[in-house]
Amino acid sequence: ARLGLSFVPTLYDDALAEVYQTEARARGFEGAACLMPSGPGLVLVSRDPDALWDEIGEHLLYDARLYAAWQHADQRSSWHVDAATIGDLRAGGQHAILTPGECVDLVRETGAAVLHPLVAGIDPAIGWETLELVVDEVMPALAG
């Protein structure tokens, strides 16, 4: 807030949001956004989520393990995922591959979807395809 920037913490905490908003108001920062995590930390969109999990699941597991490796034992974060397998990762829900309709439902329920189309070095063509689905199907459904 001191720097006039929005805030996206890694953990949902109403007290932290209030501290941020109070500081933003004190500094005259109008339109300060404090976006608390409220759904998956990473969303990709596909017409066939199972097939995309098969194709890039190892990349997503690498991403989850990398984040877990540098977090301290006493660190609180919605990003921390203890996943030994792709199945564990899918079950945890932090990394989500959704159909366009599921993504629409997520945004309506939580207010956002965190897109990460180049996560862990996936093929840019895959990332581009997920973004095209968001633009062509998700955004129009949300606008209508």
To 5 degrees, how large is the angle CA 76–CA 93–CA 88? 95
Residue 122 confidence (pLDDT) above 90: yes
pLDDT digits 0-9 by tens, 2-37 = 888 888 887 788 898 899 999 999 999 877 788 877
Domain of residue 132, residue span:
42-143
51 with 30, same domain: the answer is no
98 with 59, same domain: the answer is yes
pLDDT of residue 55: 98
6 with 54, same domain: the answer is no
Query: How many domains does the chain contain in total?
Result: 2
- Model confidence, pTM: 0.82
87 with 135, same domain: the answer is yes
60 with 8, same domain: the answer is no
79 with 21, same domain: the answer is no
Pick from 13, 23, 6, 129: which is nearest to 76 by CA? 13
5 with 76, same domain: the answer is no
For 136, which DSSP code? I
27 with 50, same domain: the answer is no
pLDDT of residue 4: 85
